[in-house]
């Protein structure tokens, strides 16, 4: 039996669908995946796919904005494996499109809580698990500054600015922090922002996950 302390581990936040689910499936070929998302049913479907392919996953149905739950999860990861090899942060709150002067206050608060505050809390939780040799992945979206993308675009840009600061601080010592740029995919988030867009020309999430992972190897 494999020693759990020697097994590669990957934490995927926002793993229930879209790019997060595709990354979890791809990583499960070589890692034990800890999959975090709010939707239990979607996580169970992900687990079924991973197990069918011969991989292993631990499901963590929780909200990343719950600081106590995330702290407990990271402690549990430490107690079981002692470390993390990779963290892919895909969780995002996509507020409805709206002019900047008409952003709903609750949508704004949810976007800040998920996209900015939770990321700022998670980095200190996860960094000790990654140590010097681990890898953290963040995913940039170019919609910041576009019309009607005020809530999503600005909070996503703040998240990426934080990731870039972490990358600049650790490039000599580790962990390795990468900001990657996914190509357009037929995800639920994109469908909300681009209703009626033809899906056929968009990139398959599974292929995109493998393309992005290849950039860090």
What is the radius of gyration, based on Cα positions, of the chain? Answer: 17
**Digit-coded pLDDT (tens) for 189-198:** 898 899 889 9
Q: Is 4 part of a structural domain of the chain?
A: no
pTM (2 d.p.) = 0.94
Yes or no: say if 116 and 64 are a contact pair by the CB < 8 Å rule: no
Please state the domain count of the chain.
Answer: 1
Q: pLDDT (tens digit, 9 = 90+) per residue, 64-86?
A: 999 999 999 999 999 999 999 99
Residue 60 DSSP one-character state: E
Say which CATH number the domain at 150 has: 3.40.50.720
Q: How far apart are CA 125 and CA 142, in angstroms?
A: 27
Domain assignment of residue 1, yes or no: no
183, part of any domain: yes
Q: What is the domain extent for residue 13?
A: 9-214
**Residue 178: which H helix or E strand, with range?**
strand 176-180
């Amino acid at each position: 039996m494999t020693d759990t302390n020697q097994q590669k581990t990957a934490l995927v936040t926002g793993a229930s669908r879209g790019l997060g689910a595709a990354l979890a499936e791809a990583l499960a070929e070589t890692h034990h995946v800890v999959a975090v998302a709010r939707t239990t049913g979607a996580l169970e479907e992900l687990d079924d796919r991973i197990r069918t392919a011969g991989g292993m996953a631990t499901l963590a149905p929780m909200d990343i904005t719950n600081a106590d739950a995330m702290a407990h999860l990271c402690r549990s990861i430490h107690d079981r494996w002692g470390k993390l090899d990779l963290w892919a942060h895909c969780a995002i709150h996509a507020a409805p499109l709206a002019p900047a002067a008409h952003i709903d206050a609750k949508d704004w608060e949810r976007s800040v809580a998920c996209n900015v505050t939770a990321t700022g809390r998670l980095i200190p939780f996860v960094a000790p698990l990654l140590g010097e040799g681990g890898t953290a992945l963040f995913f940039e979206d170019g919609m910041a500054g576009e019309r009607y993308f005020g809530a999503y675009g600005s909070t996503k840009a703040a998240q990426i600015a934080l990731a870039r600061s972490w990358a600049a601080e650790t490039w000599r010592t580790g962990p390795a922090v990468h900001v990657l740029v996914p190509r357009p995919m037929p995800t639920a988030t994109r469908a909300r922002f681009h209703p009626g867009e033809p899906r056929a020309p968009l990139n398959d999430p599974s292929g995109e996950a493998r393309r992005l992972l290849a950039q860090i190897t």
